[in-house]
Amino acid sequence: MTDVPKDPGVILVDHPLVQHKLTIMRKKETSTLGFRRLLGEIAMLLAYEVVRDVPTELVEIETPIKTCLMPQLAGKKLCLVSVLRAGDGLLSGMLDILPAARVGHVGLYRDPKTLQAVEYFLKLPRDIAERQAIVLDPMLATGNSAVAAVAKVKQAGCTSIKFVSLLSAPEGVATLRRAHPDVTLYTAAIDECLNDHGYIVPGLGDAGDRLFGTK
Ligand code: URA
């Protein structure tokens, strides 16, 4: 792993449990079933960090013992935006923790020659402008898809956006932060670099293929 320059807009979720599960995901012998289950588990742990700064408000409740003021979540409602297709692997675990969130999808594929993101699908909730969006893509590689996905969410009127990846390349982190400095990135690891095919090194291979067993 490389040293990460301190940037308050990049939250490295380096909890031992997350790192342990990620190491198993990286192993080439880990099955589709194991990979999918671990991604869901890590997504739950990432969700816990992503909502850490959500405001709370005191509400009056009655316990069997007495009436009292207790905190409940306040602030903007959430919208999870999955970048197809690998984003769906993070989505299910996030929804386990944040079951009331709305869900949007952005379909992007990487042109293998230019590595640029090409859009083929977009469906976002109508009220996304009023929500806190959390954009999900397990692999922040070149950053081109991330930049394009966030731009789509902004074009829909949303002004409060976070981005969650499982694994990032330094190039992707820099690209996303440069294009969208207002978007905080949550990631479980920042690896060494990208290879000539735009894959993260050492990485874990193609997240979509490993998640859906399509290789
Ligand atoms: N997408 C992947 O699935 N893996 C990488 O390493 C980079 C982009």
If you measure from the C-alpha of residue 197 to the centroid of ligand 1, how many angstroms do you get, rounded to a whole number? 9
Q: Which two tokens stand for residue 142?
A: 């070149």
pLDDT at 111: 80
If you measure from the C-alpha of residue 75 to the centroid of ligand 1, how many angstroms do you get, rounded to a whole number? 34
Pocket of ligand 1 (CB under 6 A): 86, 139, 141, 198-200, 203, 206-208
Peptide bond into 85 cis (omega under 30): yes
One digit per residue, pLDDT tens: the chain, 215 residues?
A: 555 558 999 999 999 999 999 999 999 999 999 999 999 999 999 999 999 999 999 999 999 999 999 999 998 999 999 999 999 999 999 999 999 999 999 998 878 788 778 899 999 999 999 999 999 999 999 999 999 999 999 999 999 999 999 999 999 999 999 999 999 999 999 999 999 999 999 999 999 999 999 98
Residue 70 is assigned to a structural domain of this protein: no
Q: What is the CATH number of the domain that holds 167?
A: 3.40.50.2020
* Catalytic residue ranges: 110, 114, 206, 209
- Please, what is the Cα angle at 120 between 172 and 122, to 5 degrees? 85
Kindly report the protein residue whose alpha carbon is nearest to atom 7 of ligand 1. 199
Any idea how long the chain is?
215
Residue 203 is assigned to a structural domain of this protein: yes
CA distance 143 to 120: 18
Residue 2 is assigned to a structural domain of this protein: no
If you measure from the C-alpha of residue 174 to the centroid of ligand 1, how many angstroms do you get, rounded to a whole number? 16
Alpha-carbon distance values, 32 to 13, 120, 214 (Å):
24, 26, 9
pLDDT at 115: 72
Closest CA to 180 of 10, 40, 13: 10
Residue among 136, 165, 200 whose CB has most ligand 1 atoms within 8 A, to mutate:
200
Ligand 1 closest atom vs CA 199 = 6
* Residue 18 structural domain: 10-50+76-212
If you measure from the C-alpha of residue 76 to the centroid of ligand 1, how many angstroms do you get, rounded to a whole number? 31
Q: Is the ipTM reported for this complex over the cut 0.90?
A: yes
CB 178: neighbour CB atoms within 10 A? 10
Q: Are 176 and 196 in contact (CB under 8 A)?
A: no
Tokens 């640029």 identify what position?
A: 116
DSSP state of 2: P
CA distance 48 to 141: 23
DSSP state of 128: G
Residue 3 is assigned to a structural domain of this protein: no
DSSP 91-104: HHHHHHH-TT-EEE
Residue 1 is assigned to a structural domain of this protein: no
pLDDT at 4: 52
Kindly report the protein residue whose alpha carbon is nearest to atom 3 of ligand 1. 206
Residue 59 is assigned to a structural domain of this protein: no
pLDDT at 3: 56
Ligand 1 closest atom vs CA 200 = 6
Residue 61 is assigned to a structural domain of this protein: no
Q: Are 89 and 43 in contact (CB under 8 A)?
A: yes
Count of structural domains within the chain? 1
Residue 44 is assigned to a structural domain of this protein: yes
